Homo-oligomer: A and B are copies of this chain.
């Protein structure tokens, strides 16, 4: 009986899929693929495949060899590395329009991060072969890739600076700001649109669960945020930014 329900759900998702043709796909138009001409878009449409992942499913795993890359069309994805003793470090979050796995694809190496769906997620997969050919035909696509790399590299270096020089309190505050920045807020204009475990918030900030919990409690006591289970509501973003010592 349950299986049947799952199938229905799946069909429902497929019906809801927003990106049936690349031609009019707003996600493509807002992505690095804005550089493609109509003919190239047609080829992309033939070439790409469409994938659905449920909450908690692994999209790719550190150590696997990539054969292409993904563009997120719906949902939220957590990208993380696992350090000594398997401790997770969250590197970034991806959402609609973001590109995943292109670093490993370009360097023709194993994935250096894992990607996990943190909501139901839909992606288009495009093969390395297609990308390489497309860049050769259309240098603007190459430039777009380079700009994407440049942006991500800047973010990664900024992250190093923060990890090296900020206190844990600042990093926990910053983590909430990052989540608000990436995924935005509910209609109430204060509740984070993503739900994470304390573990995961700790992994963004580069600390342990207990310590993250303590600082979150502190921010609650200070009336800077309110927590309702795993939901986080930002009451005073200015004071939160101050706690983070942040540029947001």
Which residues does A use to contact B, with CB under 8 Å? Answer: 81, 83-84, 87, 89, 91, 103-104, 106-107, 109, 112-113, 132, 135-136, 139, 142-143, 145-147, 149-154, 156-166, 206, 245
Q: Chain A's interface: helix, strand, loop or mixed, by majority? A: helix
Q: How far is the CA of A154 from the CA of B159 in the complex (A)?
A: 13
Q: How far is the CA of A220 from the CA of B122 in the complex (A)?
A: 54
Looking across the interface, which residue of chain B has its beta carbon closest to that of A132?
Answer: B143
With A135-B139, A165-B206 given, is the CB distance from A113 to B157 under 8 Å? yes
With A84-B245, A135-B143, A139-B142 given, is the CB distance from A89 to B161 under 8 Å? yes
Q: How far is the CA of A161 from the CA of B87 in the complex (A)?
A: 10
With A158-B112, A161-B81, A163-B160 given, is the CB distance from A103 to B153 under 8 Å? yes
Looking across the interface, which residue of chain B has its beta carbon closest to that of A163?
Answer: B163
Other CB < 8 Å A-B pairs besides A83-B166, A153-B153, 18 of them? A81-B157, A83-B164, A83-B165, A84-B165, A104-B150, A106-B146, A107-B147, A107-B150, A136-B139, A142-B142, A142-B146, A145-B146, A146-B146, A146-B149, A149-B150, A163-B163, A163-B206, A164-B206
